[in-house]
């Protein structure tokens, strides 16, 4: 028998109440437990469709010294085979039959199981929702049934026999019995409904097809025979209410609404359910607060009465093709065709207040990626304060876990930090109003060891958000581990009036069973194809020169034209006029907010300079910092209340500027008009949107937002920024926007949704950039890195590196220059032109190929990586020696991602030209270049990946570049 795996989509089994989210080759499984919680079962590589994963619930709880959940119920074997009996008489009959049958060896163990189950149910019924911990021995049972009847167990009337024979039995192949869509069996008296529905079509796996599916049972059966998986594409048109398939305990809501005695509505009926015991260790999808799970919750609310207890119960779900619309301008993974994704929406409700949370899971069929987001809908009829809402909570089974984060600071962004998780909370976050240089909203969990590039299970979490976030991993006393990620609750308090709803940012969950490399590659592919604006998917950035490190604030028309004339010879296509072009801006102290050109510097306006550059065959870009205002500005003089501030309090300056209050429409509209005026006045084709300080005094005008809504301003600011980005990029779709925040302080998927590239760091030193870009590549594709060649000695580190190394490093991104070309010699201009041509030759491979990280500079003296084309016909290998240890040899570089049976020709590009004269010890120039191998190599992908490529470095910051081209295939 061959194992069968489901094709991508979302599957629901009413029999087990299990949702299986099938991604490309991995799956995510959860179920609705008997307490109507969403229990997490599994996330990992795909498992055979035959397997019922509810067995993973076994051992899912632990009962410790814990005031909650210490009541437990022994598992009632056979209970699930008795579900169609809805009255005590039927139960009595059944019990008698099984008692009789259980000693017949030919019938196997089934009658014994069923006898036990019917006896227990009978007893519970008799005890009215009874005390399951009571020892109900045979004596009790006998007296309960009445001596007579019990002894008479062998005598049945014909009528009774025939009734019993109609009870469905398990097929001999061991597959579970399909259940008809009948009301749940209740062992407490309740309305008795006879099973009336016609037989429900069943998949080969015993799972139900919803009876309200738009297709007929016949069609489904036919589909099943021809193509078993096709049944999964059937989508219910209406939300599926699972109350019909709910457990064999009396419905909790019914108990609440129609208590049969006063205490019934308030006792914790969950104790009847073994799955509810030990709630503090169970794996959940959505963790509530105040009912026995003491780990960090998914949600925190305060109700109008001041209470914070907020359990949520499953109400209904819906499975639909594609992805439902998200609010306008709210960044999220784009789904462009209904066939490329399936979305599961699950509604959960606080049964007392009626507050609803709606969980959205979108499975991307071509990736091992699921996106999640949450909407809270206030149907409570009263205001509710939302104090925490995680975009995802994922509970992991007990194990040894390592967490990797990307942290650093200004000019040192996204360094790779890995640590083993220990008991308690390990968190990182941003409280700065932006995703920040310090911590990136990206978290990786690796199992058993720090992540490897090529092996092991790795889980990635990436929040599509540019503001305050929280990422946490919590190891509880049972060694269960919970990851929570979402908007940072610090400073967040959202008033949800009745009828209002709140949307969390979306989060990307990715899985790889083959290490970090694969995880990164699928994120790269997703972000290139489904996150950045579609228009820029196939189109990269022109080769640009940015004036910042060339002349800083001293830009003017003449100078820009001169710079353009020089760098045109280097192959540059666009000049970006960075800071300093507007109003009185000559330094960091003034003019932000006054977005009109300084006519002394640009006497012909921006349009004049654009025209001059266009005449040279070049384009022009511009720098702006729309969210900021200088105190010394016309804008501030006129509207000093437009910045974030608390009246009467000091306004904290950062880089001598304040932050405009983008939570206010009036401010957003004003800034939009300013940007519109700049971009509308001339053919500006590129715009760098900077953001140079973080938020303080997060408070806003009472005109717009009353006191009770001040806890919303941090988030409203981010949403406001998205709105302006959305409006302006919609109006100017051909303008390429690059975002920036003092370098890479807002390098996150939220920004990538609007801007296909982000200035990765204010540190342009090639060696520092190896670390920054290597770390950034864990989550983000190289084509999104703004990456420039700057002058030497470098302005941030005073380090000098060769033009070759600076160029190779800059080629791993959107290539450009950040230097004054007027100071370059002709030879240097020519050298630059050579690298520009190299970049042009390989940019498609770098931007769209698969990245394989070969050597981690954080652990080695060298950073190395390679790009492989999708068809494996071509590859580009790069290595940079970040720290030269004299006399140490570099280990061979084991390549990855090649076709093992393919033969590649290996060409070394731009070999170094400096060499030590072994006779004199002097450094000399070898105009022919110092090649690594001295001849062309032709080798199989297999040898290159297993034996590797020997490389050597001669000097500090030395680098190598190889191009591999397919020449033939082994048969
Ligand atoms: C910070 C950016 O990262 C730099 O590239 C430059 O644009 C300056 N701001 C300008 O003020």
For ligand 1, the distance from its centroid to the CA atom of residue 867, given in whole angstroms, is 30
For ligand 1, the distance from its centroid to the CA atom of residue 552, given in whole angstroms, is 9
How large is the average pLDDT for residues 262-276? 45
Q: For residue 82, give the nearest of 124, 119, 108 by alpha carbon.
A: 119
Q: Is 745 in the pocket of ligand 1 (CB under 6 A)?
A: no
Domain ranges, residue 956: 849-970
How large is the average pLDDT for residues 446-457? 97
How large is the average pLDDT for residues 517-538? 97
Instruction: Show which of 847, 866, 887 is a domain's final residue.
Output: 847
Q: Is 579 in the pocket of ligand 1 (CB under 6 A)?
A: yes
Residue 837: pLDDT above 70?
yes
| pLDDT score for 893 | 98
The tens digit of pLDDT for each residue in 126-165 reads 554 433 333 333 343 344 333 333 333 322 223 332 332 2
Residue 580 lies in a domain: yes
For ligand 1, the distance from its centroid to the CA atom of residue 743, given in whole angstroms, is 7
Residue 201 lies in a domain: no
Rounded Cα–Cα distance for residues 299 and 516 (Å): 30
Rounded Cα–Cα distance for residues 80 and 275 (Å): 15
Two tokens at 298?
Answer: 């998914």
Least confident of 191-205, 451-465, 567-581: 191-205
Q: Is 711 in the pocket of ligand 1 (CB under 6 A)?
A: no
Q: For residue 761, give the nearest of 773, 774, 753 by alpha carbon.
A: 773
Residue with tokens 């949307």: 503
Beta strands in 244-398 (DSSP E): 299-302, 313-321, 341-349, 355-364, 369-378, 384-396
Residue 718 lies in a domain: no
Same-domain pairing of 827 and 740: yes
CA 489 to chain CA mean position, Å: 19
Instruction: Please give the full DSSP string across 621-656, using - where no structure is assigned.
Output: EEEE-TTEE-SBSHHHHH-GGGBS--TTS----BTT
Q: Are 899 and 941 in contact (CB under 8 A)?
A: yes
Rounded Cα–Cα distance for residues 283 and 268 (Å): 20
Two tokens at 421?
Answer: 């998780």
The number of domains in the chain is: 2
Q: Residue 757, by phi and psi: left (phi above 0), alpha (psi -120 to 50) or beta? A: beta
| Cβ atoms within 10 Å of 669's Cβ, excluding its own | 13
CA 295 to chain CA mean position, Å: 21
Name the β-bridge partners of 788. Answer: 816
Same-domain pairing of 602 and 745: yes
Residue 945 lies in a domain: yes
| pLDDT score for 166 | 28
pLDDT band at 905 (very low <50, low <70, confident <90, very high): very high
Same-domain pairing of 827 and 682: yes
Instruction: Show which of 831, 847, 863 is a domain's final residue.
Output: 847
pLDDT band at 99 (very low <50, low <70, confident <90, very high): confident
Q: Is 623 in the pocket of ligand 1 (CB under 6 A)?
A: yes
Name the β-bridge partners of 964. Answer: 875, 906
Rounded Cα–Cα distance for residues 617 and 542 (Å): 13
Same-domain pairing of 905 and 774: no
Least confident of 33-37, 153-157, 591-595: 153-157
Q: For residue 456, give the nearest of 519, 372, 504 by alpha carbon.
A: 519
Same-domain pairing of 860 and 901: yes
In this structure, which residue's CA is closest to atom 10 in ligand 1? 579
Q: Which of 762, 765, 820, 958 is catalytic?
A: 762
* Ligand 1 atom closest to the CA of 546, numbered from 1: 5
- CATH number of the domain encompassing residue 892: 2.60.40.1180
Rounded Cα–Cα distance for residues 625 and 955 (Å): 40
The tens digit of pLDDT for each residue in 701-756 reads 888 899 999 999 999 999 999 999 999 999 999 999 999 999 999 999 999 999 99
| Edge-to-edge order in the sheet of strand 850-855 | 850-855, 862-868, 874-881, 959-969, 902-909, 937-940
Same-domain pairing of 843 and 859: no
- Between the ranges 206-220, 263-277, 543-557, where is the mean pLDDT highest? 543-557
Residue 178: pLDDT above 60?
no
Name the percent of the chain lying above pLDDT 90: 71
578 catalytic, yes or no? no
Rounded Cα–Cα distance for residues 200 and 168 (Å): 13
Rounded Cα–Cα distance for residues 147 and 151 (Å): 6
Our mutation pick for probing the ligand 1 site, out of 548, 553, 693, counting the most ligand atoms within 8 A of Cβ, is 548
CA 862 to chain CA mean position, Å: 30
pLDDT band at 72 (very low <50, low <70, confident <90, very high): very low
Q: Which of 34, 93, 368, 690 is catalytic?
A: 690
Instruction: Please give the full DSSP string across 514-552, using - where no structure is assigned.
Output: BHHHHHHHHHHHHHHHHTS-GGGSS--PPPEEESHHHHT
Same-domain pairing of 869 and 803: no
| pLDDT score for 75 | 44
Rounded Cα–Cα distance for residues 782 and 776 (Å): 8
The residues, ordered by sequence, that sit 6+ positions from 614 with a Cβ below 8 Å of its Cβ are 620, 683
Q: Are 266 and 22 in contact (CB under 8 A)?
A: no
Same-domain pairing of 829 and 867: no
347 catalytic, yes or no? no
Q: What is the CA radius of gyration of the chain?
A: 33
Two tokens at 65?
Answer: 């010294």
Q: Is 548 in the pocket of ligand 1 (CB under 6 A)?
A: yes
Instruction: Please give the full DSSP string across 118-169, using - where no structure is assigned.
Output: HHHHHHHHHTTS--TTS---HHHHHHHH-HHHHHTTT---HHHHHHHHTS--
How large is the average pLDDT for residues 751-777? 98
pLDDT band at 87 (very low <50, low <70, confident <90, very high): low
How large is the average pLDDT for residues 273-287? 75
Residue 297 lies in a domain: no
Beta strands in 213-354 (DSSP E): 240-241, 299-302, 313-321, 341-349
Residue 675: phi, psi to the nearest 5? -65, -40
Same-domain pairing of 892 and 906: yes
Rounded Cα–Cα distance for residues 784 and 771 (Å): 16
Rounded Cα–Cα distance for residues 224 and 284 (Å): 32
The tens digit of pLDDT for each residue in 637-662 reads 999 999 999 999 999 999 999 999 99
Same-domain pairing of 688 and 784: yes
Residue 540: pLDDT above 70?
yes
Angle between the N-to-C axes of helices 110-126 and 138-145, in degrees from 0 to 180, rounded to the nearest 10: 70
Rounded Cα–Cα distance for residues 262 and 257 (Å): 11
| pLDDT score for 850 | 98
| pLDDT score for 754 | 98
Q: For residue 93, give the nearest of 177, 189, 165 by alpha carbon.
A: 165
End-to-end distance of the chain based on CA atoms, in angstroms?
Answer: 31
Rounded Cα–Cα distance for residues 438 and 813 (Å): 22
Rounded Cα–Cα distance for residues 785 and 788 (Å): 9
Residue 805: phi, psi to the nearest 5? -65, -40
* Ligand 1 atom closest to the CA of 548, numbered from 1: 6
The tens digit of pLDDT for each residue in 869-902 reads 999 999 999 999 999 999 899 999 999 999 999 9
Rounded Cα–Cα distance for residues 526 and 509 (Å): 12
Our mutation pick for probing the ligand 1 site, out of 546, 690, 760, counting the most ligand atoms within 8 A of Cβ, is 690
The DSSP code for 657 is: B
Residue 405 lies in a domain: no
For ligand 1, the distance from its centroid to the CA atom of residue 609, given in whole angstroms, is 21
Rounded Cα–Cα distance for residues 217 and 224 (Å): 10
pLDDT band at 191 (very low <50, low <70, confident <90, very high): very low
Rounded Cα–Cα distance for residues 48 and 65 (Å): 37
Rounded Cα–Cα distance for residues 828 and 821 (Å): 9
| pLDDT score for 235 | 35
How large is the average pLDDT for residues 314-326? 94
Least confident of 51-55, 125-129, 530-534: 125-129
CA 686 to chain CA mean position, Å: 29
Q: Is 692 in the pocket of ligand 1 (CB under 6 A)?
A: yes
Residue that wins the pLDDT comparison between 198 and 112: 112
Q: Is 744 in the pocket of ligand 1 (CB under 6 A)?
A: no
Residue with tokens 């580190």: 797
The residues, ordered by sequence, that sit 6+ positions from 222 with a Cβ below 8 Å of its Cβ are none
Residue 232 lies in a domain: no
| pLDDT score for 880 | 98
How large is the average pLDDT for residues 575-602? 98
How large is the average pLDDT for residues 161-180? 29
Answer whether the bond into residue 793 is a cis peptide, omega within 30°: yes
One-letter-per-residue 3-state SS of 48-117: CCCCCHHHHHCCCCCCCCCCCCCCCCCCCCCHHHCCCCCCHHHHHHHHHHHHHHCCCHHHCCHHHHHHHH
Burial class (CB in 10 A: 0-12, 13-18, 19+), 967: exposed
Q: Are 760 and 776 in contact (CB under 8 A)?
A: yes
Q: Are 373 and 357 in contact (CB under 8 A)?
A: no
Q: Is 549 in the pocket of ligand 1 (CB under 6 A)?
A: no
Same-domain pairing of 819 and 881: no
Instruction: Show which of 803, 818, 847 is a domain's final residue.
Output: 847
Two tokens at 277?
Answer: 């015991």
Our mutation pick for probing the ligand 1 site, out of 578, 582, 587, 626, counting the most ligand atoms within 8 A of Cβ, is 578
Residue with tokens 């009828």: 499
Rounded Cα–Cα distance for residues 85 and 78 (Å): 13
Residue that wins the pLDDT comparison between 296 and 276: 296
For ligand 1, the distance from its centroid to the CA atom of residue 581, given in whole angstroms, is 13
Residue 222: pLDDT above 50?
no
Residue 766 lies in a domain: yes
Same-domain pairing of 797 and 854: no
For ligand 1, the distance from its centroid to the CA atom of residue 265, given in whole angstroms, is 63
Name the percent of the chain lying above pLDDT 70: 81
pTM: 0.83
CA 405 to chain CA mean position, Å: 14
Q: For residue 678, give the nearest of 753, 735, 615, 627 by alpha carbon.
A: 735
Residue 488: pLDDT above 50?
yes
For ligand 1, the distance from its centroid to the CA atom of residue 541, given in whole angstroms, is 18
Two tokens at 826?
Answer: 């002709």
Rounded Cα–Cα distance for residues 659 and 636 (Å): 11
Rounded Cα–Cα distance for residues 540 and 740 (Å): 17
Residue 100: pLDDT above 90?
no
| Cβ atoms within 10 Å of 887's Cβ, excluding its own | 5
For ligand 1, the distance from its centroid to the CA atom of residue 597, given in whole angstroms, is 18
Residue 71: pLDDT above 70?
no
Q: Are 632 and 616 in contact (CB under 8 A)?
A: no
Q: For residue 89, give the nearest of 178, 170, 159, 7 by alpha carbon.
A: 159
| pLDDT score for 430 | 98
Residue with tokens 């397997």: 51
In this structure, which residue's CA is closest to atom 1 in ligand 1? 742
How large is the average pLDDT for residues 677-693? 98
- CATH number of the domain encompassing residue 745: 3.20.20.70
Report the chain's mean pLDDT, rounded to a whole number: 85
């Amino acid at each position: 028998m061959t194992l069968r795996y489901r094709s991508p989509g979302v599957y629901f089994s009413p029999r087990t109440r299990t949702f299986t989210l099938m991604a490309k080759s991995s799956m995510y499984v959860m179920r609705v437990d008997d307490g109507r919680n969403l229990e997490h079962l599994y996330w990992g590589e795909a498992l055979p469709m035959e397997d019922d994963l509810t067995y993973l619930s076994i051992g899912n709880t632990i009962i410790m010294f814990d005031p909650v959940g210490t009541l437990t119920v022994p598992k009632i074997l056979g209970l699930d085979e008795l579900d169609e009996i809805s009255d005590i008489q039927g139960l009595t009959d059944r019990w008698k039959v099984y008692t009789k049958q259980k000693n017949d060896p030919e019938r196997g163990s089934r009658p014994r199981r069923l006898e036990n189950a019917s006896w227990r149910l009978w007893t519970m019924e008799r005890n009215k929702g009874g005390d399951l911990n009571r020892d109900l021995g045979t004596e009790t049972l006998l007296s309960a049934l009445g001596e007579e009847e019990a002894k008479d167990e062998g005598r049945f009337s014909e009528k009774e026999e025939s009734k019993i024979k109609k009870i469905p039995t398990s097929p001999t192949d061991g597959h579970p019995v399909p259940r008809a869509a009948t009301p749940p069996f209740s062992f407490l008296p309740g309305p008795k409904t006879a099973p009336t529905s016609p037989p429900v079509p069943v998949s080969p796996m015993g799972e139900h097809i919803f009876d309200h599916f738009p297709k007929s049972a016949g069609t489904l059966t036919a589909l099943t025979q021809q193509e078993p998986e096709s049944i999964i594409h059937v989508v219910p048109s209406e939300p599926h209410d699972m109350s019909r398939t709910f457990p064999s305990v009396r419905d909790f809501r019914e108990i609440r609404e129609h208590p049969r005695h006063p205490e019934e509505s308030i006792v914790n009926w969950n104790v009847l359910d073994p799955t509810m015991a030990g709630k503090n260790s169970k794996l959940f999808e959505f963790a509530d607060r105040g009912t026995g799970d003491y780990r960090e919750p998914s949600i925190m609310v305060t109700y109008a009465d001041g209470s914070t207890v907020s359990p949520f119960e499953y109400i209904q779900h819906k499975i639909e093709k594609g992805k439902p619309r998200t609010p306008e301008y709210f960044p999220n993974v784009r789904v462009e065709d209904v066939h490329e994704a399936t979305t599961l929406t699950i509604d959960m409700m606080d049964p007392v207040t009626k507050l609803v949370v709606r969980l959205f899971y979108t499975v991307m069929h071509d990736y091992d990626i699921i996106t999640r987001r949450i909407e809270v809908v206030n149907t409570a009829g009263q205001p509710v304060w939302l104090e925490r809402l995680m975009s995802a909570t994922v509970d992991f089974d007990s194990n040894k876990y390592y967490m990797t984060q990307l942290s650093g600071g200004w000019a040192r962004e996204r360094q790779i930090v890995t640590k083993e998780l220990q008991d308690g909370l390990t968190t990182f976050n941003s409280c700065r109003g932006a995703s920040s240089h310090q911590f990136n909203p990206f978290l990786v969990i690796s199992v058993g060891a720090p992540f490897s590039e090529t092996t092991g299970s790795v889980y990635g979490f990436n929040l599509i958000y540019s503001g305050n976030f929280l990422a946490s991993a919590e190891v509880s006393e049972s060694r269960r581990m919970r990851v929570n990620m979402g908007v940072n609750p610090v400073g967040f308090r959202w008033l949800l009036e009745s009828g209002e709803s709140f949307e969390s940012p979306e989060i990307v969950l990715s899985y790889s069973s083959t290490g970090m490399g694969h995880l990164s590659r699928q994120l790269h592919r997703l972000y290139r194809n489904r996150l950045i604006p579609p228009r820029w998917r196939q189109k990269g950035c022109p080769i640009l020169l940015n004036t910042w490190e060339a002349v800083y604030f001293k830009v003017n028309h003449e100078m820009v034209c001169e710079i353009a004339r020089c760098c045109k010879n280097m192959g540059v296509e666009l000049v970006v006029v960075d800071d300093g072009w507007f109003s009185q801006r000559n330094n960091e102290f003034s003019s932000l907010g006054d977005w009109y050109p300084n006519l002394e510097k640009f006497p012909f306006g921006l349009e004049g300079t654009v025209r001059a550059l266009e005449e040279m065959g070049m384009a022009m870009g511009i720098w702006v910092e729309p969210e900021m205002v200088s105190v010394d500005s016309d804008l501030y003089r006129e509207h000093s209340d437009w910045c974030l501030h608390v009246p009467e309090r000091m306004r904290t300056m950062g880089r001598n500027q304040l932050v405009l209050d983008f939570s206010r429409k009036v401010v957003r509209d004003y800034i939009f008009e300013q940007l519109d005026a700049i971009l509308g006045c001339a053919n500006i084709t590129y715009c760098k949107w900077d953001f140079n300080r973080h938020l303080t005094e997060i408070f806003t005008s009472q005109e717009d937002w009353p006191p009770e809504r001040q806890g919303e301003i941090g988030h409203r600011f981010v949403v406001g920024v998205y709105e302006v980005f959305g409006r302006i990029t919609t109006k100017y779709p051909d303008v390429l926007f690059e975002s920036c925040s003092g370098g890479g302080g807002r390098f996150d998927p939220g920004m990538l949704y609007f801007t296909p590239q982000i200035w990765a760091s204010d540190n342009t030193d090639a060696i520092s950039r190896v670390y920054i870009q290597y770390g950034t590549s864990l989550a983000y594709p190289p084509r999104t890195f703004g990456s420039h060649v700057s002058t030497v000695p470098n302005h941030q580190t005073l380090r000098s590196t060769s033009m070759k190394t600076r160029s190779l490093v800059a080629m791993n991104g959107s290539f450009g220059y950040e230097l004054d070309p007027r100071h370059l010699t002709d030879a240097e201009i020519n050298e630059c032109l050579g690298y520009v041509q190299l970049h042009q030759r390989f940019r498609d491979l770098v931007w769209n190929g698969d990245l394989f990280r070969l050597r981690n500079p954080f652990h080695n003296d060298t950073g190395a990586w390679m790009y492989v084309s999708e068809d494996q016909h071509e590859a580009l290998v790069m290595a940079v020696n970040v720290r030269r240890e004299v006399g140490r040899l570099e280990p061979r570089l084991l390549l990855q991602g090649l076709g093992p049976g393919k033969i590649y020709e290996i060409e070394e590009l731009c070999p170094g030209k400096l060499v030590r004269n072994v006779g004199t010890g002097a450094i000399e120039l070898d105009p022919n270049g110092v090649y690594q191998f001295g001849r062309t190599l032709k080798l199989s992908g297999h040898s290159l990946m297993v034996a590797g490529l020997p490389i050597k470095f001669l000097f500090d910051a030395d680098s190598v570049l190889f191009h591999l081209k397919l020449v033939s295939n082994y048969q």
